[in-house]
Amino acid sequence: MSAGLDRAALAARIAQDIAEGSVVNLGIGAPTLIADALPAGLEIILHTENGMLGMGPRPAAGRIDPDLLNAGKQPVTELPGASYFHHADSFGMMRGGHLDICVLGAFQVSEHGDLANWHTGAPDAIPAVGGAMDLAIGAKHVWVMTDLLTRDGASKLVTECTYPLTGVRCVSRVYTDRAVFDVTAGGLVVTELFGDTTLDDLRELAGLELRDASGRHENEEMRS
């Protein structure tokens, strides 16, 4: 089967699901690619947990302002309509449910929506959690952007996370290079397949029961 979407294409796919007017936090790493993929002309307000709403793209060379960083400490810019606030207010926005969407990376996501993305549990690892736990429990919709498989070929979608958790039952949707999964009370539902991936492939890779709502039916059960 084909490899599915590359990271840029997956970022673009996620960007399509972000409605105009949404307040969005893009986690450190791959999710920051979504910023560049947002549809031109739509107003989507980016939040960065270090105290800014209305964050703009990376500045031009020579215009790097050390006082304007995103959560990954990368230089950013300020858009008209921006505002600044301190850390307690910024995390109050998350915890208080005022962000519409956050997109996070993941080590593992369970079929119940548990998220593990901060700590491998390795004894020599230096733990660092940052704002991930706050984002995980705070945003109205917590989306994960990740490859389906680790470099070792293990599924990141699992029955129960084996890595230390970031948040309990917090993920609502998982965008992977192979497929998009909605987390529902009844488990994971595949809503979209990429490349020539089939639902049977996914079931074999992840070892999970997966309901099909992809609209691509081959030998699968009907959309429920």
Partner 1 sequence: MISKVHENVLEAVSGIADGSTVMIGGFGRAGQPVELIDALLAGSATALTVVSNNAGNGDAGLAALVGSGRVAKIVCSFPRQVDSHVFDAVYRAGRIELELVPQGNLAERIRAAGAGIGAFYTPTGFGTLVAEGKETRSIDGRDYVLEYPLKADVALISALRGDRWGNLVYRGTSRNFGPIMAAAAATTIAQVDEVVELGSLDPEAVVTPGLFVDRVVAVGERPWLRDGVFVGAEAAS
**Does position 47 bind partner 1 by CB under 8 A?**
yes
Enumerate residues 10-39 that contact partner 1 by CB under 8 A. 20-21, 23
Distance, in Å, from the CA atom of 81 to the CA atom of 65, rounded to the nearest integer, reads 18
Q: Tell whether residue 153 is a contact of partner 1 (CB under 8 A).
A: no
Q: Does 50 bind partner 1 (CB under 8 A)?
A: yes
Distance CA 208, CA 155 (A): 10
Q: Which stretch in 91-99, 148-156, 191-199, 210-218 sits in contact with partner 1 by CB under 8 A?
A: 91-99
Note whether 95 binds partner 1 by CB under 8 A.
yes
Backbone angles phi, psi at 216, to 5 degrees: -115, 115
CB nearer to partner 1: pick between 86 and 216: 86
Rounded distance between C-alpha atoms, residue 174 and residue 104, angstroms: 9
Give strand ranges (E) for the chain.
23-26, 45-48, 52-56, 77-84, 101-104, 108-110, 115-116, 141-146, 157-158, 173-176, 179-184, 187-193, 211-212
Out of 52, 106, 158, 179, name the contact with partner 1 by CB under 8 A.
52
Structure tokens at 104: 């996070």
DSSP string computed for 166-213: SBSS---EEEESSEEEEEETTEEEEEEE-TT--HHHHHHHH-S--EE-
The answer to whether the CB of 90 falls within 8 A of the CB of 124 is: no
Of residues 4 and 138, the one with the C-beta less far from partner 1: 138
Identity of the amino acid at 96: G
Separation CA 219–CA 71 (nearest Å): 44
Q: 160 catalytic, yes or no?
A: no
Shortest Å distance, C-beta 85 to partner 1: 6
CA distance 33 to 8: 7
* 177 forms part of the interface with partner 1 (CB under 8 A): no
CB nearer to partner 1: pick between 73 and 222: 73
Determine the distance from the C-alpha atom of residue 6 to the mean position of all C-alpha atoms in its chain, rounded to a whole number. 15
Tell me whether residue 68 or residue 199 sits nearer to partner 1 (CB atom): 68
Catalytic residue among 49, 78, 204, 220: 49
| Contact mark string toward partner 1, 182..211, x via CB under 8 A | ------------------------------
The answer to whether 53 contacts partner 1 (rule: CB under 8 A) is yes
In the complex with partner 1, which residue's Cβ is closer, 126 or 222?
126
- List of residues contacting partner 1 (CB under 8 A): 20-21, 23, 43, 45, 47-54, 62-69, 73, 78, 80-88, 90-99, 119, 124, 126-134, 137-138, 164-168
* Active-site annotation, residues: 49
